[in-house]
Amino acid sequence: MTIDYRSDTFTRPTPGMLQAMAEAETGDDVFGEDPSVNRLEAMMAEFFGKAAGLYCPSGTMSNQVAIKAHTLPGDEVICGHQAHVYIYEGGGIAFNAGAQVHPIHGERGMINAAEVAAAINPDDVHKARTSLVCLENTSNRGGGCCYDWEEMVKIKSICEEHKLALHLDGARLFNALIATRQDPKAYGGVFDTISVCLNKGMGCPMGSVLLGSEAFIREARRIRKKFGGGLRQAGYMAATGIYALENHLQRLEQDHIHAKQIANALLEKTFTGHMLPVETNILIFEVIGSWNPISFAEHLIREGIKVMPISSTQVRMVTHLDITPEMVARTCEVIEGMA
């Protein structure tokens, strides 16, 4: 048995999810005729208080479609210097949208209203036109931390004042909702667009949904087609999203409990250096003293446990649907046994 904490993208469809796929009603989604895709898009839009949704193969595509739709070439996008859209999407902002990034520092991947205000360019021919602000919630490189509601509202009012669009990379927005008990519909009021992954904690094999106004999603659908993301019988996959919404949302709480249990075991050990506060399903911690991230990961592999070194000093572990309480107990035992 391997216990894989490298990412919450490693989940396999459950028997219930496979059955939902087998029974899915499908059609050609490029023609708008896949009932399962249409239903998933409508369910997600309703859940987050937006008018319309667009099913995309990946979170990267839904972010990139949104950024392309919100900007013109030469524009500037404000986001955190550790934002997924900036550091993990292959330079897509430049490649797909021809826009440039104004990265700001923030803390644990979260940026604040004052920094956003300071980063907006004046109306000056020397400067790129600032047109979009992107937030990420939960923040991946921030160790799965969750934005304060008030900070997001403040950023929204700055965006309104300067006529900037506000996009949320909500790859793990469901984790944030479960951890903070924030109202999903209120998100629709603050953000112009939201991308939400189904292929992470929700346990689907693929897929993300981009949410926005009717007019925005109509344009986004055209861009998705240009990106090669118009799928035919995508309903087999969308059915996994519907199944996950109905069955896997509340259980995210369990992943968060597991992450805290592992954190507690690690914090007992002298080889655990600074650990980012564990708010959801991600642990990011320094490995110091007699171990380093590579030797630590190699030791755990011999015990059947996979973790991910993410820098010369840090390791990341992520809990998810395929991690059971027994696996967490075993992991804590192995950690306790390490000198």
Q: How far is the CB of 125 from ligand PLP (least distance, A)?
A: 34
> Does residue number 240 form part of the binding site for ligand PLP (CB under 6 A)?
no
* Interface residue with ligand PLP, options 58, 100, 121, 213 (CB under 6 A): 58
Alpha-carbon radius of gyration of the chain? 20
CA-CA-CA-CA dihedral for 274, 119, 139, 234, to nearest 10: -160
CB 63 within 8 A of CB 84: yes
Three-state secondary structure call for residue 146: coil
* Interface residue with ligand PLP, options 169, 192, 279, 286 (CB under 6 A): 169
CB 210 within 8 A of CB 220: yes
Q: Which stretch binds ligand PLP (CB under 6 A): 44-52, 57-65, 113-121, 324-332?
A: 57-65
Q: What would the x/- binding string for ligand PLP be over residues 242 to 271, using CB under 6 A?
A: ------------------------------
Closer to ligand PLP by Cβ: residue 80 or 235:
80
> Does residue number 136 form part of the binding site for ligand PLP (CB under 6 A)?
yes
| Cα dihedral 196, 242, 177, 255 sign | negative
Quickly tell me which residue has 């986001």 as its tokens. 79
Could you give phi then psi for residue 110, rounded to 5 degrees?
-105, 135
Residue 282: DSSP 8-state: E
* Interface residue with ligand PLP, options 24, 101, 146, 171 (CB under 6 A): 171
Tokens of 334: 């192995």
Distance of CA 298 to the CA centre of its chain: 27
Quickly tell me which residue has 């479960």 as its tokens. 178
Instruction: Tell me which H or E stretch contains 62.
Output: helix 59-70
Tokens of 77: 């996008």
> Does residue number 140 form part of the binding site for ligand PLP (CB under 6 A)?
yes
Closer to ligand PLP by Cβ: residue 26 or 63:
63
Question: From residue 257, how far is each of 213, 245, 292 by CA, in Å?
Answer: 36, 20, 26
Q: Which residues of 162-173 are buried (b: 16+ CB within 10 A; e: fewer)?
A: eebbbbbbbbbb
Three-state secondary structure call for residue 148: coil
Q: What would the x/- binding string for ligand PLP be over residues 64 to 93, using CB under 6 A?
A: --------------------x---------
Q: Which stretch binds ligand PLP (CB under 6 A): 35-43, 58-66, 71-79, 96-104?
A: 58-66
Closer to ligand PLP by Cβ: residue 249 or 334:
249
Closer to ligand PLP by Cβ: residue 237 or 335:
237
* Interface residue with ligand PLP, options 182, 199, 240, 319 (CB under 6 A): 199
Closer to ligand PLP by Cβ: residue 88 or 128:
88
> Does residue number 60 form part of the binding site for ligand PLP (CB under 6 A)?
yes
Q: What would the x/- binding string for ligand PLP be over residues 202 to 231, using CB under 6 A?
A: ------x-----------------------
Could you give phi then psi for residue 54, rounded to 5 degrees?
-135, 120
> Does residue number 59 form part of the binding site for ligand PLP (CB under 6 A)?
yes
> Does residue number 14 form part of the binding site for ligand PLP (CB under 6 A)?
no
| List of residues contacting ligand PLP (CB under 6 A) | 58-60, 63, 84, 136, 140, 169, 171, 197, 199, 208
